Amino acid sequence: MRVPPNVSAAAYAQALAEFAQAIGGEWVFTSDADLDLYRDAFSPFLNEPEERIASGALAPLSTEQVQQIVRIANKYRIPLYPISTGRNLGYGGSAPAYSGSVVLDLKRMNRILEVAPDEMLARAQTGVTTQALNNAAAAHGLFYPPDPGSQTVSTIGGNVATCAGGLRGLKYGVTRNYVLGLTVALATGEIIRTGGRLWKDVAGYDLTRLITGSEGTLGVITEVTVALLPDPSTSRTGLAYFDTLAQAGRAVAGILAAGVIPATLEFLDRKCMDAVEQYAHLGLHSDAGALLLFGDDGDEVAVARSFERIAAACADSGAITVQTAGDATESEALLTARRCTLPALSRLGSLTILEDASVPRPRLAEMVARIDAIAAQHQVTMATFGHAGDGNLHPTCVLESAEDTEGIARAERAFADVFGTAIELGGTITGEHGVGAAKLPYLGQRLGTEQMALLRRIKTAFDPAGILNPGKLGS
């Protein structure tokens, strides 16, 4: 039996017996074969990856079962790592980042509880996938706007815990803009229901927002109530090629100045375009320095008007060419260029490290140029793509070999400079993926001493024994 750190074998055996009583013995896992499934995705920035195996895993079915688990864990001081599908990209963000933890696997809690069209909201257990939630909303002519690239597999609880963004962030915002209420099991065993069904409610501190994006360190989310919007009748996509990313940046400014807030405004640098072309053979322009993918939705006339203005702004900024999709099939084809960027880059080497930083929108082109200079200085290959509309970039380092420890160390130094540069330009170390364990050392640079101290006091107020996701935010 693997035993969590700082817990005696006898106490752990007693806790396992109590967990089994609470949720049924068949949902308590302790064999190496079962626990191997919960290994954290390999993070080159964390030490001893081979030792990152849990002591146990628990798979509850209801809020009440989660409550019982947390009470037992708190009594025996057992570290609990909630995990939904482990699709997060904050390295070390999913359990078990540290050996000896107990995984709280929330995938079985996957029921959609309600769609209320008259209130334009839906209620779901934490383990419902974002796509399933959206499908349920679509049956009522509604939609849930946040669209992380992982939406077919990642869960609404995981999205809330990381405050996931997505391609529609500029126009529609991110997860936090849609969370109306949460049911949360606190580390001390109480169940709280924050917010609720109301679109307006300012009674007390906004705990819903505090817990959204807290990466599983303040409580275990068991149910989520989200706001929905009417499904737009038309959506269209287009793309523009530019010689330089600076021109693409000017086009973004021009589009917004023309009064258009596109639903999608994404960019790829030349290295990403090459990778995508090699991978998907989409016929992307072979000489352009940057690609801007744009899209909008709404009623047909409004979308047509947006597209005219977007095309004009791109042309005014020196676009080589602007291409718009004629129908939904063509739109999907254009979107593929952006959606397949990560798999395309992954094919270039055997280790791909995708990162996440944000800068104020007007500094985007400057940031990409600085990233290129940093990559050259540290002798690593880095390609950058991201959300041009909200200044959120994903510099991605590709290494030929996952065993290249010197290359990994160079990549780590390069990313440290990338985060430092983002902060220098008025930005942040993560726009949407979260801090996880690997970026915790950089958080102080972003927040400063006073906020870091406040974060720790908040963590202690919610989780005095420090049993939820130790080693992450608030540690």
Ligand X SMILES: Cc1cc2nc3c(=O)[nH]c(=O)nc-3n(C[C@H](O)[C@H](O)[C@H](O)COP(=O)(O)OP(=O)(O)OC[C@H]3O[C@@H](n4cnc5c(N)ncnc54)[C@H](O)[C@@H]3O)c2cc1C
Dihedral sign computed on CA atoms, order 164, 167, 170, 173? negative
Least Cβ distance, residue 467 to ligand X (angstroms) = 12
Dihedral sign computed on CA atoms, order 25, 462, 475, 217? positive
Least Cβ distance, residue 150 to ligand X (angstroms) = 3
Residue with smaller CB distance to ligand X, 12 or 81: 81
Residue with smaller CB distance to ligand X, 87 or 236: 87
Q: Are 164 and 170 in contact (CB under 8 A)?
A: no
Q: Residue 96: how many CB atoms within 10 A of its CB? A: 27
Residue whose CB is nearest to ligand X in the complex, by number: 158
Residue with smaller CB distance to ligand X, 324 or 341: 341
What's at 287, amino acid-wise?
D
Sequence-separated (6 or more) residues with CB below 8 Å from residue 331: 235, 236, 237, 295, 325
Residue 167 in tokens: 């391609």
Q: Are 393 and 268 in contact (CB under 8 A)?
A: no
Residue with smaller CB distance to ligand X, 322 or 337: 337
Residue with smaller CB distance to ligand X, 53 or 314: 53
Least Cβ distance, residue 390 to ligand X (angstroms) = 11
By the criterion CB under 6 A, which residues form the site for ligand X?
A: 81-89, 93-95, 106, 126, 148-150, 154-155, 157-159, 161-162, 164-166, 215-216, 220-221, 342, 432-433, 469
Residue 191 in tokens: 């169940």
Q: Are 122 and 133 in contact (CB under 8 A)?
A: yes
Least Cβ distance, residue 151 to ligand X (angstroms) = 7
Q: Which helix (H) or strand (E) holds 352?
A: strand 351-354
Least Cβ distance, residue 80 to ligand X (angstroms) = 9
Residue with smaller CB distance to ligand X, 271 or 433: 433
What's at 93, amino acid-wise?
G
Least Cβ distance, residue 42 to ligand X (angstroms) = 13
Residues 151 and 207: their CA atoms lie apart, in Å, by: 25
Residue with smaller CB distance to ligand X, 87 or 271: 87
Least Cβ distance, residue 434 to ligand X (angstroms) = 6
- Residue whose C-alpha is closest to residue 271's, from 331, 348, 335: 348
